[in-house]
Structure 1
Amino acid sequence: MPRLGFSLLVILFLATLAGCGDKAADPGPPPAPNVKIAQALIQEVTEWDEYTGRVEAVNSVDIRARVSGYLEKVNFTAGSKVNKGDLLFLIDPKPFKAQLDYAVAELERAQSKQQLAKNDQARAENLFQAKAISAEEYDARNKGLREAAAAVNSAEANVYSAKLNLEYTEIRAPISGRIGRELITAGNLVNTAGDTTLLTTLVSTDPVYVYVDADEQSVLKYRRQAQQKHQGSADLKGTPAQLALADEADFPHQGQLDYVAPREDAATGTVTLRGVFANPDELLSPGLFARMRVRGSAPYSAALLPDRAIGTDQAQRFVWVVDQNHQVSYRQVTPGSRIGQMRVIREGLQAGDWVVIEGVQKLKPGIKVNPERISLAEPRGVQ
Structure 2
Amino acid sequence: MSLSRKQLTLSAVIIAVFATGGSFILFQENADAKATSTTSAPPAATVDIANVVSQTITDWQEYSGRLEAIDQVDVRPQVSGKLIAVHFKDGSLVNKGDLLFTIDPRPFEAELNRAKAQMASAEAQVTYTSANLDRNQRLIQSNAIARQELDQAQNEARSANANLQAAKAAVETARLNLEYTRITAPVSGRISRAEVTVGNVVSAGNGAQILTSLVSVSRLYASFDVDEQTYLKYISNQRSSAQVPVYLGLANESGFSREGYISSIDNNLNTTSGTIRVRATFDNPKGVMLPGLYARIRLGGGQPRAAILISPTAIGVDQDKRFVVVVDAKNQTAYREVKLGAQQDGLQIINSGLQVGDRIVVNGLQRIRPGDPVKPHLIAMPNPQIIADNTAQQPQPSEKTPTSAKG
Give the TM-score normalised by the residue count of structure 2: 0.75
Kindly state the Cα deviation for residue 308 of structure 1 after the two structures are TM-superposed.
3.9
1:254-333 correspondence to structure 2 within 5 Å: 254-295=259-300, 297-311=302-316, 318-327=323-332, 331=336, 333=338
Q: Distance in 1 between matches of 2:65 and 2:131?
A: 73
1:92-111 correspondence to structure 2 within 5 Å: 92-111=104-123
Q: Distance in 2 between matches of 1:344 and 1:198?
A: 52
> Against the structure 1 CA distance between its residues 95 and 307, is the aligned structure 2 distance closer, same or farther, given a 3 Å change threshold?
same
Moved more, 40-49 or 198-207: 40-49
> Against the structure 1 CA distance between its residues 93 and 357, is the aligned structure 2 distance closer, same or farther, given a 3 Å change threshold?
closer
> Against the structure 1 CA distance between its residues 45 and 310, is the aligned structure 2 distance closer, same or farther, given a 3 Å change threshold?
same
Alignment of 1:355 onto 2:360: yes
Kindly state the Cα deviation for residue 98 of structure 1 after the two structures are TM-superposed.
1.2
**Deviation string, structure 1 residues 321-366 (Cα, Å, up to 9, x no partner):** 44434455565544322123321223443332223434556444xx
**Mapped contact 2:71–2:216 kept (Cα < 8 A):** yes
Q: Distance in 2 between matches of 1:327 and 1:308?
A: 20
State how many pairs are aligned.
Answer: 367
Aligned to 1:3: none
Aligned to 1:66: 78
Q: Distance in 2 between matches of 1:368 and 1:90?
A: 80
Q: Distance in 2 between matches of 1:309 and 1:81?
A: 47
Alignment of 1:113 onto 2:121: no
> Against the structure 1 CA distance between its residues 351 and 40, is the aligned structure 2 distance closer, same or farther, given a 3 Å change threshold?
closer
Kindly state the Cα deviation for residue 159 of structure 1 after the two structures are TM-superposed.
0.8
Kindly state the Cα deviation for residue 31 of structure 1 after the two structures are TM-superposed.
4.9
**Mapped contact 1:239–1:256 kept (Cα < 8 A):** yes
1:119-138 correspondence to structure 2 within 5 Å: 119-133=131-145, 135-138=147-150
Aligned to 1:172: 184
Moved more, 155-164 or 370-379: 370-379
Kindly state the Cα deviation for residue 189 of structure 1 after the two structures are TM-superposed.
0.7
> Against the structure 1 CA distance between its residues 43 and 334, is the aligned structure 2 distance closer, same or farther, given a 3 Å change threshold?
same
Q: Distance in 1 between matches of 2:107 and 2:266?
A: 48
Match 2:381 to one of 371, 377, 381 = 377
**Mapped contact 2:108–2:174 kept (Cα < 8 A):** yes
Give the TM-score normalised by the residue count of structure 1: 0.80
Aligned to 2:391: none
**Mapped contact 1:236–1:257 kept (Cα < 8 A):** no
Kindly state the Cα deviation for residue 373 of structure 1 after the two structures are TM-superposed.
4.6
Q: Distance in 2 between matches of 1:186 and 1:220?
A: 56
Q: Distance in 1 between matches of 2:49 and 2:87?
A: 68
Cα RMSD (Å): 3.6
Q: Distance in 1 between matches of 2:154 and 2:134?
A: 9
Q: Secondary structure at the match of 1:106?
A: helix
Match 1:78 to one of 90, 112, 115 = 90
Q: Distance in 1 between matches of 2:294 and 2:142?
A: 88
1:44-55 correspondence to structure 2 within 5 Å: 44-55=56-67
Aligned to 2:251: 246
Decide which structure has the larger Cα Rg and report it. Answer: 2
Kindly state the Cα deviation for residue 167 of structure 1 after the two structures are TM-superposed.
0.9
**Deviation string, structure 1 residues 160-181 (Cα, Å, up to 9, x no partner):** 1011011111111222223222
**Deviation string, structure 1 residues 292-320 (Cα, Å, up to 9, x no partner):** 32235354432211234345677765544
> Against the structure 1 CA distance between its residues 133 and 156, is the aligned structure 2 distance closer, same or farther, given a 3 Å change threshold?
same
Aligned to 1:196: 208
Alignment of 1:148 onto 2:148: no
**Mapped contact 1:208–1:278 kept (Cα < 8 A):** yes
Q: Secondary structure at the match of 1:198?
A: coil
Whichever residue aligns with residue 46 of structure 1, its letter is T
Whichever residue aligns with residue 87 of structure 2, its letter is N
Whichever residue aligns with residue 52 of structure 1, its letter is S
Q: Secondary structure at the match of 1:109?
A: helix
Moved more, 43-52 or 160-169: 43-52
Q: Distance in 2 between matches of 1:311 and 1:80?
A: 49
**Mapped contact 1:37–1:371 kept (Cα < 8 A):** no
Moved more, 66-75 or 195-204: 195-204
Q: Distance in 2 between matches of 1:332 and 1:263?
A: 42
> Against the structure 1 CA distance between its residues 376 and 180, is the aligned structure 2 distance closer, same or farther, given a 3 Å change threshold?
same
> Against the structure 1 CA distance between its residues 359 and 198, is the aligned structure 2 distance closer, same or farther, given a 3 Å change threshold?
closer
Aligned to 2:171: 159
Moved more, 169-178 or 62-71: 169-178
Moved more, 97-106 or 208-217: 208-217
Q: Distance in 1 between matches of 2:304 and 2:154?
A: 82
**Mapped contact 2:313–2:362 kept (Cα < 8 A):** yes
Provide structure 2 residue ranges, at least 5 long, that are not aligned to the other structure: 1-13, 387-407
Provide structure 1 residue ranges, at least 5 long, that are not aligned to the other structure: 1-5, 228-232
> Against the structure 1 CA distance between its residues 280 and 139, is the aligned structure 2 distance closer, same or farther, given a 3 Å change threshold?
same
Whichever residue aligns with residue 272 of structure 2, its letter is A
1:174-253 correspondence to structure 2 within 5 Å: 174-223=186-235, 227=237, 233-235=238-240, 237-253=242-258
Q: Distance in 2 between matches of 1:182 and 1:130?
A: 73
Moved more, 141-150 or 180-189: 141-150
Moved more, 116-125 or 312-321: 312-321
